[in-house]
A and B are shown apart, each in its own frame.
Chain A
Amino acid sequence: MKRYSIFSLLRNSVNYHQDWQANWRSPDPKKEYDVVIVGGGGHGLATAYYLAKECGITNVAVIEKGWIGGGNTGRNTTIVRSNYLCDESAGMYEHALKLWEGLSTELNYNVMFSPRGLLHLAHNVHDMQEIGRRGNAIHLNGIDSQFLTPEGVKKMVPFINLECRYPVLGALLQPRGGTARHDAVAWGYARAADAMGVDIIQNCEVTGFKIENNTVTGLKTSRGMIGAKKVGCVVAGHCSVMSEMAGFRLPIESVPLQAMVSEPIKPIIDCVVMSGSVHVYISQSDKGELVIGAGSDLYNSYSQRGSFDLVEENIGPVLELYPIFSRMKMLRQWGGIVDVTVDRSPVVSKTPVNNLFFNCGWGTGGFKATPGSGHVFAHSIARGEMHPIAEPFSMNRFNSGALVDEGAAAAVAH
């Protein structure tokens, strides 16, 4: 791998940018790998990267049905934060946020991580109590957060309409929260993993598992049989499809989550503003588009498109909070299929099949966890025992009752 630097930029610019190296190879699959990761999104590629980098396992393949980063990694609203209520979640997401902070240097790839500050608005007495409770819990976990008055919110977002139908009474600010460029995260991890010998195999669909004596030994794919000593499944919305192939069920349902971007405009909003109560979140991309997300549709679907009435539910709160955007045009709207658990916490777990690991259930908020999820999942696969940060997220918690109940506890808006 040729490293990117100011010198490589200069050298290539005098050569009309003809000599840039391809970011990763496209090898044919080998007969067998030590570890096969199914799913070439951010979490899967990060897993492969940390397996090679920190666990010394380089005989690794990432198998992707479509193209890398073409699923939910390329469809999310790119928000990164770690202001969660439960200790287990704080452990996971703060681990990820610390990795985000050094990620561009580590990967030698600009993932455009921008800790621009993230506001969570409170609109009623219950919200104020919720951010009070959560803010203090976050402090106890050693994570940054500040309480803001409505005037403080107005200072950060001067054009916000505080006196809207559900007036803004205060906010919780995480200064280290922000955004990152989602595509660059997938590409950066892919490039760095490939440089250490990981095979990234795109357009290769898994059609079944080869399981002998309740132990996974390989994968049936559209490009033939691929042997594997260990398999990690990181396929988000399609995890139930994979688990069915392996012969067990997951505590997960797949629903569509929509997002949209506006036409590009000059810089107007330099932080991320979220609201759980009126349920909308907004930020501005470096291209100038407003990136808008909201709640998910509430029916199971794999259709990668949401319902029309939810578009209205997304836009209504935007116009209430920011009347200045009322004449703006939306450029694109899309949906992704997210894998939702009942407690709104992920499943990072061993499974009933030996040597088969699942990393799923990230639901509507997996992007922010990408580096942390990949890191703990890689260590778990390498050791065969779950990493301490991943331990509470075992799928057995749905049998033992030890849920990580982020959904009920924090009225969570991902």
Chain B
Amino acid sequence: MFLIKCPWCGERDQSEFHAHGEAHIVRPENPDQLSEEEWGDYVFFRKNPKGLHYERWVHSHGCRRWFNAARNTITDHIYATYKPGEPKPEIDVNDPIHGNPENQR
């Protein structure tokens, strides 16, 4: 993960970017009706997967725009980056080169 492809700027050095955790978390539609459990789950609880992770990044030392990435948290390989609002790309975690090492055994 030395180079990250910003969907707007192209490939740049990793040090220009910051990660901001799990992507595709939808803000609750009825915030005034949520219980403490639901608010806590929305704000603090995360999947934190070992393997394929859809996450948010920001090109903080570049165009300063946000985007999403599909990355393997075991190998740090980035499968794809895509703009906010675009659908999740389908990823083959059994990919022989960049899939989960544990699935390849």
Contact = CB atoms under 8 A, between A and B. Distances in A.
B73 A302 contact: yes
Contact of B18 (A238, A298, A400): A298
Interface stretch (A25-33, A246-254, A264-272, A275-283): A246-254
A398 B40 contact: yes
B29 interface: no
Interface in B60-82: 73-76
Interface string A176-189: 00000000000000
A254 B48 contact: yes
Contacts of A307: 1, 14-15
A232 to B, nearest CB: 20
B76 A250 contact: no
A251 B44 contact: yes
A413 to B, nearest CB: 20
Interface string B32-56: 0000110111011111111001010
B8 to A, nearest CB: 20
B91 interface: no
B75 to A, nearest CB: 7
Contact of B76 (A238, A253, A303): A303
Nearest to B45: A249
A250 B73 contact: no
Interface residues of B, number: 26
Place the interface of chain A in its size category.
Answer: 20 to 34
Contact of B15 (A299, A309, A398): A309
Contacts of B89: none
A344 B98 CA distance: 32
B47 A240 contact: yes
Contacts of B48: 240, 249-250, 252-254, 300
Given A249-B47, A399-B39, A303 B75 contact: yes
Interface of B: 1-2, 14-15, 18-19, 21, 36-37, 39-41, 43-50, 53, 55, 73-76
Given A252-B48, A300-B55, A308-B2, 17 more contacts: A240-B46, A240-B50, A241-B50, A244-B47, A249-B47, A249-B48, A251-B44, A251-B46, A253-B21, A254-B48, A298-B18, A302-B50, A303-B74, A303-B75, A303-B76, A342-B44, A399-B39
